[in-house]
């Protein structure tokens, strides 16, 4: 005898078909409605005209996000050949020309239809700050030449200007914390340590920072609904190139023919010109009376003695505040973790000292051993590295350790909170991204209203609800319709 299946009635078949169609339609609409559309991007270009060189960065972000709130990422970077724009003080038109190659590449990198709406900024840092102090006319001419060159490209040129040290520090801090997603999520922020060629910046949030003690070091931000009271200071002349000149100036006060420099390797020997050494405004006032034209710069390779020389470039004697770093500059107590970038990274990376787990004492020991290594051995071991960089790593490493510990008061314990970084999630650490985010208002003061569920969550909820409804309909039919409860027919 064949038993008739109670589900094989016209009513259940119709309900099932309608139910399945309804579920498929509901889920399809949910998926299509929320499907990410083919990504289109907007772009912004920033030129970092530093003291040692100029670098170009192109940033991109999703075009369809409201108020440009999509994540901004670095798409491309280009290192301009030659020195920084301040080195063209006597031939300003060459400063403009020097940018052509990287700019032409940017024209290819940014889609043509976006060219006219792509903002282009040039920000100059300590090299131009120094040139402006020394010879403001020459600095103006360099800017005129650079502006003329940049106006010749199809982007929306927004001007070239010198950033203040405070801006450089604050925008570096914004960059690091933006890339780490700390601002959006309202997490505790990371401090920013930036070591350039001519200046160095320290920026961090300290709960114990009383603004009234040193208002000039304070920058306040409201970002994503959170208030930040940032401490920042930029030390002009304390970038690693100018600090080296200051250290050399201390050793050549009397205008000697030879100096034996503990910050250079044993066996190092180079003839250097007094006129070149004392050309910078960071040291020009200290030029010896009647020096010879040149002096022999030889090395002794002694870390401890090098630290003594380096300490001389800082003034630790006067402090009119409750606490100072150096040179009578207020600094609140250090707090939290720090990202150290630019030359901090280049130097510590070369010396294999970027690992945050390396104790400060070990860093000093390794530096001592590196400095003591004979110069010819160093050259042999690193045939591909620029001789100028190579000869200066002993000084630079010693300067970094001294600046951090004696200057900023990092201890053996707090030194472990410093991370030496080049980039975060593919974007370089530096002031340029923070500068562009600020000028394009891409970080809202208030947290944007977000949809309560992400796309995947929304689709899942719709699908599960549709399935539950369907099961509910079937169950209610089964429970409440008399036809469903009938005993099976015996045919």
| Backbone phi, psi, residue 416, to 5° | -65, -15
DSSP secondary structure string, 137-158? HHHHHHHHHHHHHHHTSSSEEE
198 binds ligand ATP (CB under 6 A): yes
Closest to 436 (Cα-Cα) out of 167, 220, 166: 167
Q: Which of 140, 107, 100 has its CA nearest to residue 124?
A: 140
Closest by Cα among 139, 176, 140, 160 to 49: 160
Q: Kindly tell me the sign of the dihedral angle through the C-alpha atoms of 333, 245, 168, 213.
A: positive
Q: Which stretch binds ligand ATP (CB under 6 A): 63-71, 139-147, 310-318, 342-350?
A: 342-350
Q: Interface with ligand ATP by CB under 6 A: which range of 194-202, 302-310, 374-382, 483-491?
A: 194-202
Rounded-to-integer distance, Cα 405 and Cα 400, Å: 9
The single residue among 44, 50, 169, 262 that binds ligand ATP, judged by CB under 6 A, is: 50
Between CA 34 and CA 458 the distance in angstroms is 9
Backbone angles phi, psi at 67, to 5 degrees: 50, 30
Q: Does 132 bind ligand ATP (CB under 6 A)?
A: no
56 binds ligand ATP (CB under 6 A): no
Q: Which stretch binds ligand ATP (CB under 6 A): 30-38, 239-247, 254-262, 455-463?
A: 239-247
200 is in an annotated binding site: yes
| Residues 438-467 close enough to bind ligand ATP by CB under 6 A | none
Q: Would the annotation count 292 as a binding residue?
A: no
Q: Binders of ligand ATP: how many residues, by CB under 6 A? A: 21
Decide if residue 103 touches ligand ATP (CB under 6 A): no
Please identify, using beta-carbon distances, which residue of 52 and 139 lies nearer to ligand ATP: 52
Kindly state whether residue 98 participates in binding ligand ATP, applying the rule CB under 6 A: no
Q: Catalytic residue at 168? A: yes
The secondary structure of the chain in percent helix, strand, coil, rounded to multiples of 5, reads 45, 20, 35
Q: Does 52 bind ligand ATP (CB under 6 A)?
A: yes
Q: Which of 92, 119, 123, 127 binds ligand ATP (CB under 6 A)?
A: 127
Catalytic residue, candidates 64, 168, 270, 423: 168
Q: How far is the CB of 199 from ligand ATP (least distance, A)?
A: 4
Question: Cα separation of 187 and 114, whole Å?
Answer: 34
Helix (H) or strand (E) holding 204: strand 199-205
Q: Map the footprint of ligand ATP across residues 348-387, applying CB under 6 A.
A: 350
CB of residue 340 to ligand ATP, shortest distance in Å: 12
Distance CA 364, CA 360 (A): 6
Known binding residues for ATP are 197-201
* Residues involved in catalysis: 168
Site residues, ligand ATP (CB under 6 A): 50-53, 84, 125-127, 196-199, 239-241, 342-343, 346-347, 350, 389
């Amino acid at each position: 005898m064949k038993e008739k299946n109670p589900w094989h009635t016209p009513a259940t078949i119709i309900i099932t078909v309608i139910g399945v169609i309804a579920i498929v339609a509901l889920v399809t609409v949910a998926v299509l409605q929320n499907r990410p559309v083919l990504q289109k991007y907007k772009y912004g270009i920033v030129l970092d005209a530093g003291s040692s060189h100029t670098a170009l960065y192109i940033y991109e972000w999703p075009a369809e996000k409201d108020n440009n709130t999509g994540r901004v990422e670095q798409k491309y970077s280009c290192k301009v050949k030659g020195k920084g724009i301040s080195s063209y003080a006597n031939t300003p038109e060459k400063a403009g020309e020097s940018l052509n190659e990287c700019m032409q590449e940017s024209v290819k990198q940014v889609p043509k239809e976006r060219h006219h709406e792509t903002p282009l900024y040039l920000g100059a840092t300590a090299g131009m700050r120094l040139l402006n102090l020394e010879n403001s006319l020459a600095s103006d001419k360099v800017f005129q030449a650079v502006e003329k060159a940049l106006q010749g490209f199809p982007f929306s040129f927004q001007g070239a200007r010198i950033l203040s040290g405070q801006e450089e520090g604050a925008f570096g801090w914004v960059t690091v914390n933006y890339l780490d997603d700390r601002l959006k999520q309202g997490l505790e922020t990371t401090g920013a340590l930036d070591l350039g060629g001519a200046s160095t910046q320290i920026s961090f949030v300290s709960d114990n920072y009383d603004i009234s003690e040193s208002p000039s070091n304070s920058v306040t931000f409201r970002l994503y609904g959170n208030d930040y009271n940032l401490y920042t200071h930029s030390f002009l002349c304390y970038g690693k190139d100018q600090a080296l000149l200051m250290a050399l100036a201390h050793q050549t006060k009397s205008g000697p023919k030879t100096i034996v420099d503990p910050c250079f390797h044993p066996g190092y020997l180079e003839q250097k010109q007094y006129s070149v050494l004392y050309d910078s405004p960071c040291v020009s006032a200290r030029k010896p009376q009647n020096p010879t034209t040149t002096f022999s710069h030889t090395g002794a390779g002694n870390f401890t003695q090098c630290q003594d020389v380096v300490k001389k470039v800082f003034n630790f004697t006067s402090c009119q505040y409750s606490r100072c770093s150096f040179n009578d500059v207020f600094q609140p107590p250090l707090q939290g973790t720090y990202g150290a970038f630019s030359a901090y990274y280049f130097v510590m990376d070369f010396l294999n000292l970027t690992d945050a787990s390396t104790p400060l004492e070990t860093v000093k020991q390794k530096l001592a051993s590196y400095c003591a290594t004979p110069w010819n051995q160093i050259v042999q071991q690193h045939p591909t590295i620029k001789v100028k960089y190579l000869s200066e790593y002993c000084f630079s490493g010693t300067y970094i350790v001294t600046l951090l510990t004696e200057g900023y008061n990092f201890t053996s314990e707090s030194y472990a909170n410093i991370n030496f970084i080049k980039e975060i999630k593919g974007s370089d650490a530096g002031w340029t991204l923070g500068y562009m985010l600020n000028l394009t208002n891409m970080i809202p003061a208030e947290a944007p209203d977000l949809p309560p569920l992400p796309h995947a969550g929304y689709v899942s909820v719709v699908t599960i609800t549709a399935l539950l409804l369907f099961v509910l309909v079937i169950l209610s039919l089964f429970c409440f319709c008399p036809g469903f409860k009938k005993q099976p027919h015996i045919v």
